[in-house]
């Protein structure tokens, strides 16, 4: 869980503790007896160690006479939930709906900062590369495979590369050029796509060479939307970071990675070398 989600959950617990005490329940044990809960549950919720459900919040407000605070508390609870969304829950109906959610965010963002150390960023993926990635995700999480629909929605994001005054600052680790998703033909086409996007006027594509001295460990990938939101993907969940202090750290990380990146012809040369690698692989497999 991100620091902001944890802090918000702890603040919610402290507020509920205040409600309990104001209502005359001097201890968690007394409140647990009145609600029929375990005392440990009351303690975990009040100390931010456990997520309360909406039904828990509703009962808490009823027992303490704070029904008027219920809408605000439920909104807070849902916000915490949005900060940490388990992939299995997000993808329970397939990946298309998750891709749809990105479109409004892309529409209202003006400056993007993208860091992907070992995979090609989704908005500049080819259809075949994206198809492979979605199939990997579906297999890993054992969720419905709506690959064709998900790919279509992902490719729809590409229109924002050409519309409006958006600026895309994209950094890839050199490993992203070699992480083999789909085989040599898919990778060859994807790398050709990277050569093409180098010419886009609103997109700045830098590559961090594998052998370059680093200003910061590579870490995990993230997408930063203006200065208001950072999205981080882990194996288990997607994290939304909105706390200004945390966002500042991600911006600092991006700038440190940018110091290690190469651009222009140097980036093109790295891509061409990777293309040669997959050309050799393809010839070898055919021979």
- 117-141: pLDDT as tens digits: 999 999 999 999 999 999 998 898 7
- 247-270: pLDDT as tens digits: 899 999 999 999 999 999 999 999
Q: What is the rounded CA–CA span in Å between residue 247 and residue 2?
A: 11
3-84 is a CATH 1.10.260.40 domain: yes
Instruction: Give the start-to-end residue ranges of the domains of the chain.
Output: 3-84, 91-286
- 81-129: pLDDT as tens digits: 665 555 566 666 666 676 777 888 899 999 999 999 999 999 999 999 9
Its CATH class, for the domain covering 91-286, is alpha beta
Angle at the Cα of 88 from the Cα atoms of 87 and 89, rounded to 5 degrees: 90
Q: What percent of the chain has pLDDT over 90?
A: 65
91-286 shares the fold of 3-84: no
> What is the block-wise mean pLDDT of the chain (287 residues), using blocks of 10 residues?
70 93 94 94 91 91 93 80 60 67 89 97 96 91 84 92 93 98 96 96 97 93 94 79 84 97 98 96 82
pLDDT at 245: 79
Q: Which strands form 222-225's sheet, in the order they lie side by side?
A: 84-86, 237-241, 229-233, 222-225, 111-116, 167-173, 203-208
Q: What percent of the chain has pLDDT over 70?
A: 92
| Contacts for 158 with CB less than 8 Å, ≥ 6 apart | 123, 124
């Amino acid at each position: 869980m991100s620091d902001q989600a944890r802090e918000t959950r702890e603040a919610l617990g402290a507020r509920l503790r205040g409600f309990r005490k104001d209502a005359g329940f001097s201890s968690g044990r007394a409140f647990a007896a009145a609600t029929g809960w375990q005392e440990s549950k009351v303690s975990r919720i009040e100390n931010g160690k456990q997520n309360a459900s909406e039904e828990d919040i509703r009962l808490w407000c009823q027992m303490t006479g704070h029904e008027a605070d219920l809408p605000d508390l439920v909104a807070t609870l849902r916000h915490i939930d949005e900060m940490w969304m388990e992939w299995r829950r997000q993808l329970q109906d397939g990946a298309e709906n998750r891709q749809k959610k990105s479109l409004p965010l892309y529409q209202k963002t003006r400056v993007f900062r993208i860091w992907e150390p070992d995979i090609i960023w989704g908005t500049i993926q080819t259809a075949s590369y994206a198809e492979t990635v979605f199939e990997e995700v579906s297999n890993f999480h054992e969720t419905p495979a709506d690959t064709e629909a998900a790919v279509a929605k992902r490719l729809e994001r590409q229109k924002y590369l050409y519309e409006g005054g958006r600026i895309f600052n994209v950094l890839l680790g050199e490993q992203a050029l070699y992480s083999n998703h789909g085989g040599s033909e898919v990778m060859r086409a994807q790398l050709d796509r990277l050569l093409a996007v180098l010419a886009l006027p609103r997109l700045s594509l830098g590559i961090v060479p594998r052998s370059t001295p680093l200003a910061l460990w590579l870490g995990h990938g993230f997408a930063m939307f203006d200065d208001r939101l950072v999205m981080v993907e882990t194996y288990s969940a997607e994290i939304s970071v909105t706390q200004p202090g945390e966002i500042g750290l991600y911006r600092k990380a991006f700038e440190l990675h940018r110091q290690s990146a190469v651009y222009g012809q140097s980036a093109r040369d790295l891509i061409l070398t990777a293309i040669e690698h997959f050309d050799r692989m393809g010839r070898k497999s055919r021979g």
